[in-house]
Structure 1
Amino acid sequence: MASTARPERSAPSAPSAERSFDASLSADEFKALFRGHPGGVAVITADAGEGPVALTATSVSSVSAEPPLLIFSISSQSSASETLSRAETIVVHLLDADDLSLAQTGATSGIDRFADHHWSRLVTGEPVYHGVRAWVRCAVIERMDAGGSTVVAAHALQSSIERDGSGEALVYHNRTWHRLGDHSAI
């Protein structure tokens, strides 16, 4: 019996942020495109040994339930980016409309993001805000440089849900905070 030879497949080349293309959207065009795409709001905290940092992110997405993985991106321009690039663990706070003040604080540069909000440290050392809808403590498993940002993949280790999500969601859309609830259902 003759064997059937299969052609060898070459591995697909990995995409590169440094790769050049004949055409590309400008930064302004790209920003305008995504202004119309709302994002859920989270605040990410960490401490890599020099004190706690926090930032607001609208890029948090679940990736897998088994294992429980999520991703988010951090702009290199964020004052928290250096600490987040070294932290082995982080806390992602998933916010709702009742947490607007914290979202605004995490998005404001040049301030102490822990001064006006009740927080403490988990027994494992990470800074965690109290009274938020939910938070999840994660181990960072991968970082990838992507343009002027770093994409972080994290494995969920521990969580707390204070409000079940039946309240009004907080989203960021077209450079403005929005409250989603029964009134906005279609």
Structure 2
Amino acid sequence: MSSSSPAPQPQHSPLAQVQSIDEHAGLSATDFKLAFRNHPAGVAVVTADAGDGPVGLTVTSVFSVSAEPPLLVFSISGTSSSAPTLNRADTVVVHLLGADQLQVAKLFATSGVDRFADTSSWSRLVTGEPYLPGAPVWIRGRIINRMVAGSSTVIAVHALQAHISESEAPPLVYHNRTWHHVGEHSRLEG
């Protein structure tokens, strides 16, 4: 559970900011959402603390980018209540949820609630980040870049530490505006 090399330092300036896109050209927001509605995505919770208390949110945009160095990305909406903290944080913890954590996913997707009220469901790593010990997989990482893209921010993370449970719990998946799990019932070929 340690890093083998120093992590790149986060870049807080929008070096790769998407600019000069004609918002009225191209696919409508409604059609774009409809196109992606049938594209399943794994469910994760991202937590952070920039010094003023823990924040967290449910995301379906996490994906790996590189194994060497170990990099992942996710995106957050600019309207998310967690966005200000995530835009100031140096590190995050990304929790890849199992199907048995549907209530956790719903909690962190709900606006206007104290997602950390149940102190028995979360703790802090020795490095200070809030995390969910019940997640089958969590990855602590240092933010190395942020890219403003439309009304969202894409955040690149260098993975520093991970906990990977030996449990073979099916993953939680979001598809067509509802929750699913992947398992033997969904296997197409062996």
TM class by smaller structure: 0.7 to 0.9
Shift of 1:75: 0.3
1:60-79 equivalences in 2 (<5 Å): 60-79=62-81
The aligned residue for residue 58 of structure 1 is 60
Match for residue 37 of structure 1 among 35, 39, 43: 39
- Segments of 5+ residues of structure 2 without an aligned counterpart are 1-15
For the residue of structure 2 that corresponds to 1:86, the secondary structure is: coil
Identity across matched positions, percent: 60
The aligned residue for residue 125 of structure 1 is 128
State the superposition RMSD in angstroms.
Answer: 1.6
Shift of 1:162: 2.1
2:156 alignment partner AA: A
Higher-RCO chain (CA-CA 8 Å, sequence separation at least 6): 2
- Segments of 5+ residues of structure 1 without an aligned counterpart are 1-13
- For 2:24 and 2:170, the matched residues in 1 are separated by 44
TM-score normalised over the length of structure 2: 0.86
- For 1:172 and 1:88, the matched residues in 2 are separated by 28
- For 2:63 and 2:184, the matched residues in 1 are separated by 23
Shift of 1:163: 4.0
Whether contact under 8 Å (1:134, 1:163) holds in the other structure is no
- For 1:167 and 1:98, the matched residues in 2 are separated by 8
Rg larger in structure:
1
Give the total of aligned pairs: 172
1:26 alignment partner AA: S
Shift of 1:22: 7.6
The aligned residue for residue 114 of structure 1 is 116
Whether contact under 8 Å (1:46, 1:89) holds in the other structure is yes
The aligned residue for residue 7 of structure 2 is none
The aligned residue for residue 138 of structure 2 is 135
Match for residue 151 of structure 2 among 125, 143, 148: 148
